[in-house]
Every structure is written in C-alpha cells, then in structure tokens.
Structure 1
C-alpha cells in the first residue's frame, strides 16, 4: 500500500547532473559525489555509481529493519552486518534491470534463528517493500 502525501515523515532530495557520468548532490549538501559508469560498463570508474548508492541505502535500511525486528523478538543482533550486492544486467524485455543479494551476518544467533529474523526484516524494510515484485532480492545468512 502506498504512503499518502500527508503520511510522509521525511523527504530526501537529490539532483543529478549528466546522469551516470556526472554528479549527484543532496539539497542539504551532505552528499555530493561524482558519478561515473564502472569500468565493467565501459566507464572510467573514477566516481561512484547508482548501483553503489542503491546498495549503500538498501544495506543501511535493511540493517535498521533487522534491529527493529530483533527488538520485537527480544533477539540480540549486536555486531551484525548487512551487505547488499546490487547487480545491473539485461532484462528479458531487452531493457536493463537490477538484482539484489542481501547477506546478513549475525554472530550471536544460530543460522536458522538469524534467517527467520532476516525474513521478517525483509517484510519491514521500506527498500524491500519498494522492490517487491520489481527486483529479485535474494536473502542470505552467513
């Protein structure tokens, strides 16, 4: 279910210049980065790229969702990490698409308990909810 305008708690604003080979900055100046296509896509690789920025946002958001779920379940996830791998590739329709792998490491829990928390976090995380049905997201626990 979409968020209604009156229910928005925070809005991030970023502006891109020259797309994948330019610059992206937020309106508050906290993020201002050069973006370039990676070498694998024929670019210079000198800057960051949209997939890295998406991976950073998704992993941070998912880590927070994991914490929310852990508090509800009275589970200890201290020392945990979440790594997002965002792949860009050709889609079946001839365009391009994304694929995401989220890998969680939760040292204090056995693998099955950790996997259950990760699955619950996937239901809570706004990035997970936004990608549902659009992007394949693979969940892993190490």
Structure 2
C-alpha cells in the first residue's frame, strides 16, 4: 500500500526572497538561513531535513519501546545536523540523535539494556534514516536513566 504526501510551495522573487510551503499540518514560511547568507525567514531545507530525521527517529523509538513493554516515564530528543560548505558547495554531512530515555523506577537492568538496544535499532528502522543512508552519516548517542523517587 502506498501513501501519498503532497507539498505545495510558492516563492517570491530571487535567491534572497522568501516563500511558503504547505503540506498537511505543516504550514510555514521558508527562506535561505542567515548562516548561509539568506534572510533567515521561517524554516529552511536544512532544518526540515533535520526535523524529518529527528521526528521519524523519535516516533519510531517510541513505538518500538511501547511494543517492548518498557516502562518509559519520559522520552525526549536533541538532534544536530552538520552541513559542510566547501567551494560554495553545501553538503549535508551528518545527523546525530541524542535521545534521553527515563524509565520508571520499577525498571530492571534488563529494561535499561533493552532501551539502549532499541535506541540504536530505531535509527535503522526509521524511513527517513533509510532514505538518507549512504549520503548522510547517522549516529545515535542515547542517555538512559532510571527514575529515582518519582523524578521526571
């Protein structure tokens, strides 16, 4: 079964102008980021690729942990994308995911290890990660802890 996603875009002018995109619930302004000599209005392709990779990874990890029955209290993520600029050629080099997984105080050492394995496995199970594999280096650096006395 195929799923179709449609994005509509408009662009006003030349390189340093701005535009708008709309795809389902995503509606935002777009432009070249200030770091790359643009106006920095709205989002940009670099942030969108990072956002796609990060949200896909996070949702995949959450689903895998739920299926495994792990006692997750909190799940958050920080992801970083690196873009290289050499001879005015922009190349997306890497994406590093740094998930934070807090398991409930009832979690066992086996649960902690299972969470670590799933954090690593989720990268290869994510559709976006598979789409960019071979072109962008992907890494995962999970931090997994067990709650103590109801902390969150």
Change (3 A) 1:58 1:90: same
1:126, distance to aligned residue in structure 2 (A)? 0.6
Structure 2 counterpart of 1:16: 9
Structure 2 counterpart of 1:62: 57
Q: Say if 1:12 and 1:26, in contact at 8 Å, map to a contact too.
A: no
What's the Cα RMSD here?
2.7
Unaligned runs of 5+ in 1: 1-6
TM-score with structure 1 length normalisation? Answer: 0.76
Q: Say if 2:17 and 2:39, in contact at 8 Å, map to a contact too.
A: no
Q: Say if 1:65 and 1:125, in contact at 8 Å, map to a contact too.
A: yes
Q: Distance in 2 between matches of 1:124 and 1:97?
A: 24
Change (3 A) 1:61 1:78: farther
Number of aligned residue pairs: give it.
133
Change (3 A) 1:66 1:27: closer
Change (3 A) 1:78 1:63: farther
Between Structure 1 and Structure 2, whose CA radius of gyration is higher?
2
Unaligned runs of 5+ in 2: 144-152
Change (3 A) 1:53 1:74: same
Structure 2 counterpart of 1:4: none
Which structure features the higher share of strand residues?
2
TM-score with structure 2 length normalisation? Answer: 0.72
1:52, distance to aligned residue in structure 2 (A)? 1.5
